Amino acid sequence: MNTNGEVPVSWWECEPRRLARDQHEVAKLFPELTWCGEGAGRWEGRLPRWPFHRPEPTGLAELVGQDGMPIRVQYGHAYPMVPPAIFPLDPKPELIEYRQTRFHVMGDGSLCLLQDYSTWTGRQSVTELLLKAAGWRVEYALLKSGVIESMTINGIVNDASRDHLVEQALEELSPGGGQA
């Protein structure tokens, strides 16, 4: 309710076809996410550990856990012209990691998944951002293990160049790891 006592109309009430599209696409690729139509709306739940089209790297479950990353996808009333914000719930980036380019975390703790806001035109699928968020989880684990110094610019959704580093990260994190 605003100061005039009016209840704002949400984007999903104005654009029911876009909401139906999002719900269909998300349910197909990310069945563990649940839609909540409060306010501007949000998705809550878990991303798959490895939703990509190439084989999962050996040892990934050991590095990031058996389950996928729990997230909250927060829409704003300007959606679809403004992308939703995706907040990782576990792991949560440390406060010191916010606004550091190498961690791809915004000042509010949401993930930085676009190179700039002009990359999002409003026509893309929210599933593209969800795939990038799943890739962020893997790169975050690699970064925290010390095998990389920063995340990739485009993420790992379609880039297998860092898959082989999962086993190296496990070695670094093992007792006595990284000792030659």
From first to last of the 180 residues of the chain, give the pLDDT tens digit: 667 777 778 999 999 999 999 999 999 999 999 999 999 999 999 999 999 999 999 999 999 999 999 999 999 999 999 999 999 999 999 999 999 889 999 999 999 999 887 889 999 999 999 999 999 999 999 999 999 999 998 899 999 999 999 999 999 888 877 655
| Domain assignments of the chain as residue spans, ordered by start | 11-172
Residue 174 confidence (pLDDT): 86
Euclidean distance between CA atoms 69 and 61, whole angstroms: 12
Residue 179 confidence (pLDDT): 59
Cβ atoms of 11 and 78 within 8 Å: the answer is: yes
Cβ atoms of 121 and 112 within 8 Å: the answer is: no
Determine whether domain 11-172 maps to CATH 1.10.10: no
51-96: pLDDT as tens digits: 999 999 999 999 999 999 999 999 999 999 999 999 999 999 999 9
Two structure tokens written together for 143: 């970064």
Residue 166 confidence (pLDDT): 96
DSSP for 126-159 reads: HHHHHHHHHHHHHHHHHHHHTS-SS--SS-STT-
Cβ atoms of 111 and 79 within 8 Å: the answer is: no
Residue 178 confidence (pLDDT): 64
Residue 135 confidence (pLDDT): 97
